[in-house]
Amino acid sequence: MSADRGITEDQLYRIMYGSIAFEMLHAASELGVFDHLGRNPGSSTQDIATALGIAPYPCDILLTGLRGLELVLGDETRMTNAPLVEQCFVKGEDGKHLPFIHEIVNPGMSEFIDSVRQATNLGLRHFPGDGTSLYSRLESDPDKLRSLHEHLRATSEATLADLVATGALDNTRHLLDIGGGTATNAIPLANHYPDLRITLVDLENVVEAAARAIDSHGLSDRIDVLACDVFNDPLPVGADTALLAHMLPIWSPEANRELLSKVYDALPDNGQALLFDPLQNDERDGPDYAILFPAYYLTIASGRGTFYPWSTYEQWMREAGFSGFQRFEGLAVAHGLHVGTKQR
């Protein structure tokens, strides 16, 4: 991106009042505005107010804001969803991110200034418990944990097709899914590759939920789960490919270097490591999602981590011993795939 790019006054105000813009988006999704317009394009403000049981005044406030944000197009007498809204919120799964942002990200981000000053995730004040990360604290709050898992599942659903389309997994026989969560990647990958065997590793309470999901899909004979603290326990051997999807951004560079070294040791000769994440460009000024969301890691999630640039992933893999690198850029939701091979 250009180093001398500027910002317009309207863009500045959208940032200043961004929390209001988000709540308008959230309200439109939760109240059914987008769904209604998907079924009834050309509706007026009054049509929407009547259909959704909203009084005229608040409905006018909401619809005026949505039109100003260009989420809804047209005037108050005849409106339609913007094409991207139709794609993402009516036909797609992006609405599943909104409770996570509303219930977890936004409350915690009120502590951003102090988190910057003290270099720790003070946003945890909003989530009861004794753990030092959001992930441990949400174990005692099933509703918010569900919002987090829905966010992660929606991210996987939006991006996994692009991972498959790269062809990087086409010759894999046995996949080690590191930090595989509740099998949001393992299940669709097993369905897409009928001869693929998968070993999923994650913390004990997570793999218990993963095992239930895997069993419900009839895939227990092809997907094994293993309780494993990947930073402190040995990684299982036997897989020819290791997938780290949405894993490395959570942790510090030191922890990630150590983990990639363990991955290298666990793979056979010619084994491959696939790093699949949102990635910053090497100038570290975009894309927007990859430069904004890391504030969540600092303030709430773990107090560590970020979306790293492409060059950092390659550097870490070189240090671990990998070579023969491949980059797959321009994937959905600012994602990229970095592949390294264990070549002796």
- Same structural domain for residues 168 and 66? no
Q: What is the CATH number of the domain that holds 20?
A: 1.10.10.10
How far is the C-alpha of 242 from the C-alpha of 259, rounded, in Å? 12
Which residue, of 91, 115, 136, is where some domain finishes? 91
Same domain, yes or no, for 100 and 83?
A: no
Note whether 155 and 302 are same-domain residues. yes
- Alpha-carbon span 338 to 344, nearest angstrom: 19
Q: Judge whether 4 lies within some domain.
A: no
Whether 145 and 173 map to the same domain: the answer is yes
Which residue, among 88, 34, 91, 35, has the nearest Cα to 66 in the 3D structure?
A: 34
Strand locations in the chain (E): 72-75, 78-81, 174-178, 197-202, 223-227, 241-245, 272-278, 323-328, 335-341
* Helix and strand numbers, DSSP H then E, in the chain: 17, 9
Q: Are 127 and 87 contacting, i.e. CB atoms less than 8 angstroms apart?
A: no
Question: Under a CB-based contact definition with an 8 Å cutoff, are residues 4 and 80 in contact?
Answer: no
* Residue at token pair 């793999």: 207
Cα distance between residue 327 and residue 338, in whole Å: 5
pLDDT digits (tens, 9 = 90+) for 28-50: 999 999 999 999 999 999 999 99
Q: Are residues 43 and 118 in the same domain?
A: no
Question: What 3-state class would DSSP assign to 283?
Answer: coil
Contact 301, 134 (CB under 8 A): yes
On whether both 33 and 166 belong to a single domain, the answer is no
Residue 140 confidence (pLDDT): 85
| pLDDT for residue 329 | 95
**pLDDT of the residue at 100:** 97
Tell me if 2 is assigned to some domain. no
The SS3 call for residue 196 is coil
Q: How many domains does the chain have?
A: 2
1 in any annotated domain = no
Q: Hey, what are 279's tokens? A: 């990635």
- Among 72, 91, 110, the domain boundary falls at 91
Q: Give pTM, 2 decimals.
A: 0.85
What CATH number does the domain containing 176 carry?
3.40.50.150
Task: Please identify every stretch of the chain with a pLDDT value under 70, giving residue numbers as ranges.
Answer: 1-4
The verdict on residue 246 lying in a domain is: yes
**Contact assessment for residue 71 and residue 28, using Cβ atoms and an 8 Å cutoff:** yes
Domain boundary among 41, 66, 91: 91
Domain that holds residue 299: 96-341
Q: What is the three-class DSSP state of 153?
A: helix
On whether both 66 and 102 belong to a single domain, the answer is no
- One domain, residues 79 and 120: no
Helices (H), 125-252: 134-137, 142-165, 186-192, 204-216
pLDDT at 3: 54
Residue 230 sits in the same domain as residue 122: yes
Residue partners of 112: CB distance under 8 A and separation at least 6 = 123, 295, 298, 299
Residue 17 belongs to a domain: yes
> Length of the chain in residues, anyone?
344
Which residue is listed with tokens 């991006």?
A: 159
Considering the domain architecture, whether residues 245 and 164 belong to the same structural domain is answered as yes
Looking at the fold, whether 143 and 81 belong to one and the same domain comes out as no
| 82: CB partners within 8 A, 6+ apart | 70, 71, 72, 73
Residues 87 and 100 in one domain: no
Inside any domain, residue 211: yes
